[in-house]
Amino acid sequence: MGLLPKKIADQIPPSMAQEGMGDESIVYVKFFNPILNWTWYVTEYDPKDEIFFGLVKGIETEWGYFSLLELKNAKATMRDISFSPTRLGDIIL
């Protein structure tokens, strides 16, 4: 199945599609790493380069780009399989 199944990847809007929407952005995928205590909330995805954009909660909480390869290389990173698309403002950060 992998970290990002094609069925889910195909649902994520392309880069810049939700620019400026802030809390109204839709989060399509939630990745997390229980060891590092980091969470990535995906709002956009470039499948060609396998680059995501979204909110990253780690040492600090900030918007940014991150790659699928980066997530795959971080030991214990998982996709929250119970997560469904949700408005960012409805997620408790």
> Domain-by-domain residue ranges, the chain?
26-90
Structure confidence by residue, pLDDT tens digits, 58-72: 999 999 999 999 999
Query: Any idea of the CA torsion for 14, 66, 72, 28, to the nearest 10 degrees?
Result: -40
The first and second tokens of residue 9, run together, are 């990847």
pTM beyond 0.85: the answer is yes
Of 32, 74, 27, 34, which is closest to residue 53 (Cα–Cα)?
27
What's the rounded Cα separation, in Å, for the pair 37 and 57?
Answer: 8
Query: With bands split at pLDDT 50, 70 and 90, how would you rate the model's confidence at 2?
Result: confident
| In the predicted structure, residue 21 carries a pLDDT above the cut 70 | yes
- Helix or strand holding residue 55 (H, E): strand 51-57
Query: With bands split at pLDDT 50, 70 and 90, how would you rate the model's confidence at 47?
Result: very high
| In the predicted structure, residue 1 carries a pLDDT above the cut 70 | no
pLDDT at 16: 93
Of 44, 50, 30, which is closest to residue 92 (Cα–Cα)?
30
